[in-house]
Chain A
């Protein structure tokens, strides 16, 4: 049986040195999202209702393809952290919380995988 107090167990170990990691990444992606999503909105407005060939030609442009991929990566990173905070704020049952946190990451990666594959296919294969 361990007789040490909870404080005694952690004393002297120091911090994990990543206490502000989420805070920082949320701000970093937020800053990136402003120009990236402005581009995204303008792109969608320009090509809304346009013929398939026009949309494919636009997305095949290297600049557009790379920026579109950055939109996806930055936005998904941002929203994944955001949803994690929401889950941690409202879900207090340990088991459900862990499942939801896992699903959150799976969702972000699944959406990201699908988006990036589609962008790369459009860029390389049309």
Chain B
């Protein structure tokens, strides 16, 4: 049994294939998901800061307002939007639609363009409102 498992033929890995948009977006979907995973620490920190009182909250708020904080939050926003748009594509596939080659390639590109556009728009609106 062990021998059968060991000598089982394996499909070639990522680096063998030419990089195409659908494949790249699949990888980015997973990376953004992993980034969002660790990003929940920031959400927990923010909530705890709010629950801890004004002095600590002001400090946390100050950190998020610094250039480093803003870059992290911008990246976090993009990761969330990108992962959500990727998720919407998955809903479509789960329902059995959108498997055509040309269409799925266009949609993969739209996912990247859309997530960057929406993230920028959110931040522009955020800065204007403030």
Is the beta-carbon distance between B57 and A52 smaller than 8 angstroms? yes
Does B36 interact with chain A (Cβ within 8 Å)?
Answer: yes
Given known A-B contacts A30-B87, A76-B40, A118-B44, A49 and B65 have beta carbons under 8 A apart: yes
CB interface residues, A 31-80, toward B, < 8 Å? 31, 33-34, 37, 41, 45-46, 48-49, 52-53, 55-56, 59, 68, 72, 75-76, 79
Interface string of A75-117 (1 = CB under 8 A from B): 1100100110010000000000000000000000001001101
Say what secondary structure dominates the interface of chain B. helix
Is the beta-carbon distance between B37 and A118 smaller than 8 angstroms? no
Does B12 interact with chain A (Cβ within 8 Å)?
Answer: no
CB < 8 Å A-B pair total: 80
Is the beta-carbon distance between A114 and B47 smaller than 8 angstroms? yes
Q: List 8 A-B residue pairs with CB atoms under 8 Å apart, sorted by A's residue number.
A: A27-B91, A30-B91, A34-B84, A45-B125, A55-B50, A75-B36, A79-B33, A118-B47
Chain A interface residues toward B at CB < 8 A? 6, 27, 30-31, 33-34, 37, 41, 45-46, 48-49, 52-53, 55-56, 59, 68, 72, 75-76, 79, 82-83, 86, 111, 114-115, 117-119, 121-122
Which residue of chain A is the closest to B38 with respect to CB atoms? A107
Given known A-B contacts A83-B34, A111-B41, A33 and B84 have beta carbons under 8 A apart: yes
Q: Which of B80, B87, B130 contacts A41 (CB 8 A)?
A: B80
Tally chain B residues at the interface, Cβ within 8 Å: 34
Is the beta-carbon distance between B40 and A118 smaller than 8 angstroms? no
Least Cβ distance of B14 to chain A in Å?
12
